[in-house]
């Protein structure tokens, strides 16, 4: 069965020559009354009240907040040079992706995109800008403390971005699930998740943090430019995640902001989260690196080319041990023409 969203993709010859922040608001009016009204409302009400933003040296406190809330924000994870470098990588890939999508159908809803989902390897670790995220002096000690060991595992990384004009909320979701097989539009099947307990007793939600995602903020994130909303303390919840129509207003306003560019949001990916509207004039990108606990595995396709791997620190090479290409193996990398698989909840 062909996917409805991918059928609508039309190449955009203008995208490559368009400035990054001018790529949005396609077919949408930034000054429409409903958009103006929502923008004013978010300015007034959006954001977690009293959000704590930590310094990189507050390792113990970071671990405590991470286990309490299912996420923690740490400022200055990237220095000015690293931030600039990663912004450049995002700029390049965002232009590549939008040049395949003139009407900004997106692969996570209109004007909303997953980097990894659009990549042939499922990840962006073949770009040095993303590989840099495998071992950062500011983040490695926090990850080591969260996992209680430096033997944790990189599964790759990608992240997401929303263009200005992403006026809809992304539904709340978890980035993990019980093990299941998902039929793909091309007839193949995709295995998702690590295990399924046929007794119905143990769920992935009962585990200590198995899978941690580090999202790096490329811009100062505020009330109206598409901050991620996180629902604190939901990482172990077995309750059904509310659909948009049932989601209470306080959850919609539980955006992780304000936080400055160069900060990292370290998430237990099971915690309920979703994108919020980007009604601003700038692209909000949050490239990421994703890690498994030393004792956890899911299928991990290779995504780090050999030359990138050789350039990593000793610790970087160790965490990338399961995703490095074999010697002599050439990975097929680049952006998928169909921008990748679109989850059922985003299909029309």
Binding range to Fe ion, per CB under 5 A, among 80-88, 171-179, 248-256, 314-322: 171-179
Binding range to Fe ion, per CB under 5 A, among 35-43, 167-175, 184-192, 222-230: 167-175
In whole angstroms, how close is the CB of 11 to Fe ion at the nearest point?
27
Closer CB to Fe ion, 56 or 159, in the complex = 159
Residue closest to Fe ion, measured at CB: 175
Binding range to Fe ion, per CB under 5 A, among 122-130, 173-181, 304-312, 322-330: 173-181
Binding range to Fe ion, per CB under 5 A, among 22-30, 59-67, 145-153, 168-176: 168-176
In whole angstroms, how close is the CB of 19 to Fe ion at the nearest point?
28
Interface pick for Fe ion out of 57, 60, 84, 175 (rule CB under 5 A): 175
In whole angstroms, how close is the CB of 81 to Fe ion at the nearest point?
29
Closer CB to Fe ion, 84 or 175, in the complex = 175
Closer CB to Fe ion, 166 or 324, in the complex = 166
Radius of gyration from C-alpha coordinates of the chain: 19
Binding range to Fe ion, per CB under 5 A, among 170-178, 227-235, 322-330, 333-341: 170-178
In whole angstroms, how close is the CB of 158 to Fe ion at the nearest point?
11
Binding range to Fe ion, per CB under 5 A, among 11-19, 105-113, 174-182, 313-321: 174-182
Going by C-alpha positions, the residue among 251, 246, 208 that lies closest to residue 231 is 251
Closer CB to Fe ion, 99 or 288, in the complex = 288
In whole angstroms, how close is the CB of 176 to Fe ion at the nearest point?
10
Residue count, binding to Fe ion (CB under 5 A): 1
Closer CB to Fe ion, 85 or 192, in the complex = 192
Residue 115, CA atoms < 13 Å, CB-side half-sphere = 27
In whole angstroms, how close is the CB of 321 to Fe ion at the nearest point?
25
345 is a contact residue toward Fe ion (CB under 5 A): no
Closer CB to Fe ion, 76 or 160, in the complex = 160
Closer CB to Fe ion, 56 or 106, in the complex = 106
SS (H, E, C) the chain: CCCHHHHCCCCCCCHHHCCHHHCCCCCCCCCCHHHHHHHHHHHHHCCCCCCCEECCCCHHHHHHHHHHHCEEEECCCCCHHHHHHHHHHHHHHHHHHHCCCCCCCCCCCCCEEECHHHECCCCCCCCHHHHHHHCCCCCHHHHHHHHCCCCCEEEECCEEEECCCECCCCCCECCCCCCEEEECCCCCEEEECCCCCCCCCCCHHHCCCCEEEEEECCCCECCCECCEEECCCCCCCCCCCCCHHHCCHHHHCCECCCECCCCEEEEECCCCEEECCECCCCCEEEEEEEEECCCCCCCCCCCECHHHHHCCCHHHHHHCCCCECCCCCCCCCCECCCCCCCCHHHCC
In whole angstroms, how close is the CB of 43 to Fe ion at the nearest point?
25
Cis peptide preceding 258, ω within 30 of 0: yes
| CA–CA gap between residue 284 and residue 263 (Å, rounded) | 13
In whole angstroms, how close is the CB of 175 to Fe ion at the nearest point?
4
Contacting positions for Fe ion (CB under 5 A)? 175
């Amino acid at each position: 069965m062909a996917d409805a969203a991918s059928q609508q993709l039309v190449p955009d010859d203008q995208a490559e020559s368009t400035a990054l922040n001018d790529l949005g608001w396609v077919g949408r009016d930034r000054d429409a009354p409903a958009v103006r009204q929502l923008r004013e409302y978010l300015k007034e009400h959006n954001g977690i009240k009293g959000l704590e933003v930590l310094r990189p040296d507050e390792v113990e406190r970071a671990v405590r907040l991470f286990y309490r809330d299912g996420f923690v924000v740490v400022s200055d994870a990237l220095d000015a040079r690293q931030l600039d470098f990663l912004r450049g990588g995002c700029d390049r890939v965002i232009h590549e992706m939008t040049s395949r999508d003139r009407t900004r159908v997106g692969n996570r809803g209109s004007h909303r995109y997953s980097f990894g989902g659009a990549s042939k390897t499922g990840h962006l670790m073949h770009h040095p800008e993303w590989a840099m995220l495998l071992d950062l002096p500011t983040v490695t000690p926090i990850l080591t403390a969260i996992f209680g060991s430096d033997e944790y595992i990189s599964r790759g990384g990608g992240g997401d971005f929303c263009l200005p004009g992403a006026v809809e909320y992304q539904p709340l979701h978890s980035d993990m699930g019980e093990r299941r097989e998902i039929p793909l539009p091309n007839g193949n099947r995709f295995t998702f998740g690590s295990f399924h307990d046929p007794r119905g007793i143990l769920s992935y939600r009962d585990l200590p943090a198995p899978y941690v995602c580090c999202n790096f903020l490329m811009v100062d994130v505020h009330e109206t430019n598409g901050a991620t909303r996180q629902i604190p303390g939901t990482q172990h919840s077995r309750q059904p995640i509310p659909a948009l129509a049932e989601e209470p207003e306080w959850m919609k306003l539980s955006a992780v902001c304000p936080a400055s560019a160069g900060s990292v949001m370290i998430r237990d990916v099971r915690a309920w989260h979703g994108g919020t509207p980007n009604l601003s004039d700038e692209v909000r990108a949050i490239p990421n690196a994703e890690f498994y606990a030393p004792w956890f595995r899911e299928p991990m396709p290779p995504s780090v080319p050999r030359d990138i791997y050789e350039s990593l620190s000793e610790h970087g090479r160790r965490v990338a041990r399961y995703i490095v290409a074999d010697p002599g193996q050439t990975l097929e990398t680049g952006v998928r023409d169909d921008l990748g698989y679109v989850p059922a909840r985003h299909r029309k």
